[in-house]
Structure 1
Amino acid sequence: MNQPIGGGSALAPPPPRSPRSSASGRNKMAAPVEFFCWAGGWGLPSVDPPCLAVLAYARFTGAPLKVHKVSSPWRSPSGTLPALKTPDEGVLSDPQQIITYLRKQRFNADYDLSARQGADTLAFVSLLQEKLLPVLIHTFWVDAKNYVELTRKWYAEAIPFPLNFFLPGRMQKQQLERLQTVCGENCLENEEELEKELYREARECLTLLSQRLGQQKFFFGDSPASLDAVVFSHLAPLLKAKLPNAKIQQHLKSLPNLCNYCTSILSLYFPWDEGDPPPPVPKSASSDGSESEEEPHKRRNQVLSVLVGLLAMVGYALLTGIVSVQKQGPGTGGRRAIALDEEEEEEEEE
């Protein structure tokens, strides 16, 4: 949920026809490229919609990705999630740019679509951005009960100390700004009215998606397209998360074809992925003495964690009075010294 896929530009029309995953496409991308995404939870391979969209698109097309499921954006080469580390275009962080890159490598989920279906893709992606994305932000990041008991709780438990103290709050602030961009700067002044409007439009959007899908396996027949990756990334978290306040989730569950759609994609394309972070693996050096590939930025993260931890402890000590800064008299030449309150220090140690 770092940057919902609806936040960027709409999916571009399908490029000139090329095999969905042809031999030439596979040769062009012989070695898997590295993809960094949020770890899984709630029965999903990733809890973050943009990450989920890219994972689904890659599975639909068979694009070879070396996936790193991480619990902090600082473990990404770009400092954000998702991130695709490419050999020729650097690091891509926007979900649409990543999908476009995979298309250029001839992993094109929209190869078989007609011009009319391509237009429908653009229309439905725009609909999701305008009607469903805002309610997802509100449900997970604005609704106080959901945020405290589900969203913040998951990220605080997943993100390593001491980053878990401030990253969830910073992410929430980013999502609030995103919602204001979509709905207007003053939209949060009357949250009750905002919630009523968002949920009304989201219910209409879900009902329209249900009618469009009908009894089909995917939105354009028996094979998944890029639209399916985007729709799945929006619906699956809403369906699978154990939301304390589940208003919009209840409406989604009243549409059985959309529920079966999400369940089918999970079972077909992520059958071995339980959606939970993998158990910790013992750290060991490789034969050449380099660090594990699963932690390409381990040393940087350790240094940053130590620095943040030290700053947090010093700040806490100053705020609570354990450490105070005093100015000495003229006899010391105006030098500043740190005085420790020994009694308070002993109490802290007990």
Structure 2
Amino acid sequence: MELFIYSGIGQLPSIDFDCLRITAYVKFKEIPVKILTNGNPYHASTGFLPYLKDHNEIIAGYDEIIEYFRSKGFDYDDFLSNSYMNYFESQFLPYFTYLLWGDPINADTTRILYAKRIPFPFNFVYPQKYIQRASDYLKIVANFSIEDKLINHNTADISLNAKKYLKMLAEKIEKKRWFFGGQKPDELDASIYAALSILTNLQLQNNDLKSHITECPSLINYIDRVRKKYLMDIRIVESESKQAVFDRIQNVFINKEKGTVSNAVIKTLFGLLTISTMVFFAISHGLLEIVTDDDDAQYYDGGDDDAEHFSEE
């Protein structure tokens, strides 16, 4: 089995919450999975990482992968997990999600991190899908959308809930090595570790939860304990820069020693390649529709709602 995730940065094995917690989970459970940090969300039916490949079968999405593992007999010590997971998701995840994707300044940082790890040209499309998913989620759990005016981002309640939850975690982990108190960590530990590790390692300008975490030695020790015991072997892959992509494509078209083609020509070809690839992607995914009326052909863009999918990061 192969698990495809986003790569990390610094001491963070993956920048993505679902990727990081499923990675921690397979390490906790000692599931025989090869972890690959070169995943492409294009190959996942959900359009998001992580996804698992088992022979010819692809399982996409955190919940679906967990269920697949359990169907294969890797479910143990999880009998209390559901209620604790539900509490984590209701009290902590809303504000955690907002800090990453809802806060305008933070969202720019997060979007760039993802765009650098998504292969060209999909990096122009998929970060927006993450923003839209977060917006839909916040609309349900917090009664506002990311698209709303900033003054209508009512985060007071979800922020308070998250800080109370952190205080509870800090008190609980002082007395136990793992949150269930067992010999090994479980799914709840995987989710908590992933969230805390992301908040303490990503350089988000507006991150009031980070100070709450760093002021609790028990939480910092917990993050460090999980990483050193289970995740030290995860290879951090540095993403290729846009300039490196341009240089690589340029090398295909010109001989560097002769320099027979100007940079302007190369940039033009690069731009045409970008546009044509994005159009092909949009048509193949139903985002752009070609409508023919007798002998005349025209492009139909599906309306304003679909236009946002083509906006650059």
Q: TM-score, normalised by structure 1?
A: 0.63
CA distance in 2, matches of 1:279, 1:272: 21
CA distance in 2, matches of 1:100, 1:335: 50
Pairwise CA distance, 1:186: 6.3
In the alignment, which residue of structure 2 is the partner of 1:94? 61
Pairwise CA distance, 1:240: 1.5
Pairwise CA distance, 1:308: 5.6
Mapping for residues 250-261 of structure 1, pairs under 5 Å:
250-261=211-222
Pairwise CA distance, 1:274: 5.5
CA distance in 2, matches of 1:335, 1:95: 46
Mapping for residues 169-318 of structure 1, pairs under 5 Å:
169-184=128-143, 188=148, 191=151, 194-221=154-181, 222-273=183-234, 275-277=236-238, 309-310=275-276
Q: Deviations over 1:112-147 (max 9, x none)?
A: xxxxxx33x323211111111111111010111111
Please give the secondary structure, in 2, of the residue aligned with 1:223.
Answer: coil
Structure 1's 193 and 159: CA in aligned 2 closer, same or farther, altered over 3 A? closer
Mapping for residues 1-350 of structure 1, pairs under 5 Å:
33-70=1-38, 72-76=40-44, 79-87=47-55, 90-110=57-77, 118-119=79-80, 121-148=81-108, 150-184=109-143, 188=148, 191=151, 194-221=154-181, 222-273=183-234, 275-277=236-238, 309-310=275-276
Structure number with greater Rg is: 1
Pairwise CA distance, 1:79: 4.3
Please give the secondary structure, in 2, of the residue aligned with 1:84.
Answer: strand
In the alignment, which residue of structure 2 is the partner of 1:298? none
CA distance in 1, matches of 2:11, 2:71: 31
Sequence identity (%): 26
Bigger mean CA deviation after superposition, 192-201 or 139-148: 192-201
Structure 1's 256 and 335: CA in aligned 2 closer, same or farther, altered over 3 A? closer
**Unmatched runs of 5 consecutive residues or more in structure 1:** 1-32, 112-117, 281-304, 315-333, 337-350
Contact 1:232–1:262 at 8 Å: present in 2 too?
yes
CA distance in 2, matches of 1:193, 1:79: 27
CA distance in 2, matches of 1:230, 1:313: 37
| Amino acid in the other structure paired with 1:72 | N
Q: Deviations over 1:76-119 (max 9, x none)?
A: 4764311112359x3222323322322333333417xxxxxx33
Pairwise CA distance, 1:159: 2.2
CA distance in 2, matches of 1:102, 1:71: 19
